[in-house]
Structure 1
Amino acid sequence: MTNTTKYNYLFLDRDGVINIERPNDYVKNRDEFIFTDGALDAITILSKKFEYIFIITNQRGVGKQVMSLVNLADVHNYMLTEIKKAGGNISEIYFCTDTDSTSINRKPNIGMGFKAQFEFPQVDFRHSIMVGNSKSDIEFGNKLGMYTVLVGDKYDKKDKIYKSVNAYYENLYKFAQNL
């Protein structure tokens, strides 16, 4: 990153960034939650560099009744426990279970960002980074004026998404290494 702006706040998508995404499916329970390569190490590194780290995740599977809020809480508790054991820290998790794409809280809409800012008033989106693996993550970050980082291999290298991001890395660990 050659930008001279000081970034204090990190927003991370979950599926495809922290854990392996299940194509055409949902992480419905703890057994299906598998960290991406280097994610635990990455969050440990990032926890030393950012004042706050937020997870911002759409969880439509709950709204579709494919899984319950209890299942989601169990997955998140497992994830947070493993992150803490590795030396990392997550300030808060925000999730949207709505199935309607017009919901203010469903990415790419920005409701979850404002929830974070309401609970942590010092958050300034101009001093925030959004890391995601999908167009909705990047659009969310761009709408709020964040520095946006795409990770993963979801899109062909010629896809126009690469023109709407500030940076691209193979995964969260590569991003953390390059800060």
Structure 2
Amino acid sequence: MQETVGDEEIVTPGEVLGKGTEVKAGRGAYLSRENNTVYASLTGRRSVVPPSSESTDQRPIVEVIGHKAHGPVPEPGCVVIARVTKVMARMASADIMCVGAKAVREKFSGIIRQQDVRATEIDKVDMHSSFRPGDIVKASVISLGDARAYYLSTAQNELGVVSAESTAGSTMVPISWTEMQCPSTGQIEPRKVAKAGA
């Protein structure tokens, strides 16, 4: 790993940038408290910024300057479209496909926690009744969570499942904010449905 300032080293999300004892995480980087290691959070050019002479902390700051060509990056507060990849008892994981109306060009992972599925009766949320793997969901980004996954929320009415495939393989139609129906078999499946027209 080169240590020269202003080098053109390209790094990708999850790549180790240095130990937390030696460098500070700047833009495009984050510190994992588990192993005190600084990782890149986006694809871009690795850059080391020397500490200011007034600073008591004399560790250099390591940053990743992202390429504009890499497409949009999820930011807290923006709405994303994601595909659910795995549903567990207390959360669902998803791959973010679009930020707003723009498709992402690199892989971003999202996590929808049980408490972020809907605004009411949070303790009664059943993840397996809200999402299934393969569902396309509209969600808002809460924050960059842990392990390079963004925390996502579907608590607002207009957020939730926008497209889902039934067990028969047909695209289901929403019939209420908690159910979708397979047009070919008539089978009804539970989901946290996004309110239409939003």
TM-score by length of 1: 0.23
Who wins on radius of gyration, i.e. which is larger?
2
TM-score by length of 2: 0.21
| Structure showing the higher helix proportion among its residues | 1
Q: Which has the higher contact order (CA 8 A, sep 6+)?
A: 1
